[in-house]
Amino acid sequence: MRQRFRIFAVAATISAFALVLSFVSVSSAGPGVTKIHVIEHATTDVVIDTDSDGADSTGDLLTFHNELFDADNVAVVGTNQGDCIRIEVGVNWECRWINFLEDGAITVEGPFLDAGPSTFAVTGGTGAYRGAAGTMRLVSNADGTEFDFIFRVIT
């Protein structure tokens, strides 16, 4: 009886180890990553002065619904809509929005930095981007009227 238990215990340990190795090799190989580059034209951005002091203040709200252009900045390929709340004046906003593209939508969330590029988390999606994760890099162009959105979507 003890011999049978030892054989079972060894077999179970080997099986568990093999299962762990298979997970590690799958995750280390990584899922597919899709790169998407669009350019937002920030034409509808509105800041709501929540404390009515007339100044940029913590708690102010930014809302928008803009067109997204292809990487060549020629053709409209989608739209977006979202909001940001001012966290620290002169430093950052905390934002979340959805990007509507031909194959589905991609949601993002994270800090929009006043100076320099920002990186957002891809928090999900619909259609071809259902269950998506990854990142979106935002780079300001044209004095804050256009923004490069460079997605690295893991599906």
Q: What is the pLDDT of residue 30?
A: 44
- Average model confidence (pLDDT) for the chain? 85
Task: Please give the pLDDT value at position 31.
Answer: 62
Shared-domain flag, residues 44 and 24: no
CA distance 35 to 151: 5
Do 91 and 26 share a domain, yes or no? no
pLDDT at 32: 86
Range of the domain at 145: 33-154
Give me the residues of the chain with pLDDT under 50, please: 1-2, 4-30
* pTM recorded for the entire structure: 0.78
The pLDDT score that the predictor gives to residue 27 is 27
Output the domain CATH number for residue 37.
2.40.480.10
Pair 56, 1 in one domain: no
Q: What is the DSSP letter of 72?
A: T
> Within this chain, do residues 65 and 3 fall inside the same structural domain, yes or no?
no
| One domain, residues 13 and 81 | no
DSSP category for residue 68: E
Same domain, 123 and 138: yes
Count other Cβ atoms within 10 Å, centred on residue 93.
21
Q: How many domains are contained in the chain?
A: 2
- Can you tell me the distance from the alpha carbon of 148 to that of 68, in angstroms, rounded to the nearest whole number? 9
Residues 12 and 38 in one domain: no
Residues 141 and 65 in one domain: yes
